[in-house]
Amino acid sequence: MTQQGEVYDIGYQRYLGPREGRWRARKALWANGVRLSLGLGRPLLAKVFPWGFMALAVAISGVAVIIASFTANFISDADAAGLWGYNDYYEVISYFLMIFAAVVAPELLCPDRRDGVLSLYLVRPITPTDYVAARFLAFLTIALCALYLGQIVLIVGYALSASEPVEYLRNNWLAVPRFMASGLALTLFAASISMAVASLTTRRAYAAAGVVGLFIVSTTAAGVLVGTSTNAWFNLLGILSTPIYLNSVIFGSEQAVFSPPLPTGVPELWYAAIVGGACFLLWLRYRRLAA
């Protein structure tokens, strides 16, 4: 028999479907990020924080509504002003949002680098920026869902327990754009800080501890310094002070977050600097990692 080679057609097929581009890849990364944020397809332990946060976001509103409807048989317009409000909701939930961010942001970024999956993603037609942006948006999606859900429960609950539900909504419709804007400011803040910290280490535990540690240390440090002096600038050390300040500005509340007040525009600038700086760090890290 002469030496010859032969390849038989045993029915292997090429992929003949459509080839989709970057947007498809971005969407897939985002969707995968959403699943990761919720701990879907992961062990029970990974679901504790996201679902606990979701439940808490709704439970806080639920409790507020129940208390309101117990204290007054019907909420009249006069009561509405004194109710535990939409801005108060954010002040409470912001602490839990930071904890949620501390656990979920590392989940979104760290394992991909630790397990060396990132380089596999980057051989697809996407850039590091696409990757980070998709993860960032996934976080925003879930966090905003939780916060808005809580606010919707709050407004619907208050409206239903009001003596004139339609009247209540007509008088308070402005709360909706306000809580949307303020919620966005808050989640943007939590996302950028936690993602930036998570980009610094490949170990999830360290990243989570870093975020919570930053939060605790800066808050207690600000507390001590503000408590011992009259210098309002020390307030800016507290990491959550600026989103809380923005929250009260957006809701037009008179209560002063900082006393004595800081010059106009300073807290806003500081907020922008923190978010901008964190995002820049995040971008820088991923640009370097990919190179």
Partner 1 sequence: MTHVFRLSLRQLLGRWRVTVILALSGLMIALTAIAAGQADLSEDAGVVVLIFDGLLIRALLPIVIMTLATAAFGNELEDRTLSYLTIKPVPRWRIALPKLLASLTVGGPVVILTGVIMTMIAFGLDAKPVAATAAALAVGVTAYAAIFTWAGLVTANALPFCLLYVFIWEALAGALLSGISYLSVRAYSLSVMHAIDDNSFSGVADGVIALPVAVGSAALVIAVFFALTVLRLRRMDTP
Partner 2 sequence: MTGPAIEARSVSKWFGDVVAVSDVSFEVQPGVTGLLGPNGAGKTTLLHVISGLARPSQGEAFMLGERVWNNPEVYRRVGFVSEHESAYGFYTGSQFVELSACLFGLPDPADAADRAIGYVAMEHAQSRKIDTYSRGMRQRIRLAAAIVHEPEVLLLDEPLNGTDPRQRVQFQELMRKMVEDEGRTVLISSHILEEVESVADRILLMVGGKLAAAGDFRAIRAKLDEQPYRVRIVASEPRRLAAALVRMDELDSISVDDDGALIALSRNVGVLQTAVPKSAAELGIRILRVEPLDESLESVFSYVVER
Binding region for partner 1 (CB under 8 A): 45, 49, 99, 102-103, 203-206, 208-209, 212-213, 216-217, 220-221, 223-225, 227-229
Amino acid at 271: Y
Q: Which does 203 bind (CB under 5 to 8 A by kind): partner 1, partner 2, none?
A: partner 1
CA 119 – CA 55 distance, rounded (Å): 36
- Quick count: other Cβ atoms within 10 Å of Cβ 215? 21
Q: Which is nearer to partner 1, 120 or 224 (CB)?
A: 224
CA angle 174, 261, 92 (to 5 degrees): 50
* Residue whose token pair is 């800016």: 236
Report the nearest approach of partner 1 to the CB of residue 159 (Å).
30
Q: Which does 11 bind (CB under 5 to 8 A by kind): partner 1, partner 2, none?
A: partner 2
Q: Which is nearer to partner 1, 194 or 248 (CB)?
A: 194
Q: Which does 129 bind (CB under 5 to 8 A by kind): partner 1, partner 2, none?
A: none
Q: Which is nearer to partner 2, 9 or 254 (CB)?
A: 9
Q: CB-based burial of residue 45 (10 Å sphere; 0-12 exposed, 13-18 middle, 19+ buried)?
A: exposed
Q: Which is nearer to partner 2, 6 or 254 (CB)?
A: 6
CA 239 – CA 197 distance, rounded (Å): 14
Burial letters 228-243, b for 16+ CB under 10 A, else e = eeeebebbbbbbbbbb
Amino acid at 72: A
Q: Which does 9 bind (CB under 5 to 8 A by kind): partner 1, partner 2, none?
A: partner 2
Q: Which does 8 bind (CB under 5 to 8 A by kind): partner 1, partner 2, none?
A: partner 2
What's the full length of the chain, in residues?
291
Report the nearest approach of partner 2 to the CB of residue 51 (Å).
20
Report the nearest approach of partner 2 to the CB of residue 9 (Å).
7
Interface positions with partner 2 (CB under 8 A): 6, 8-11
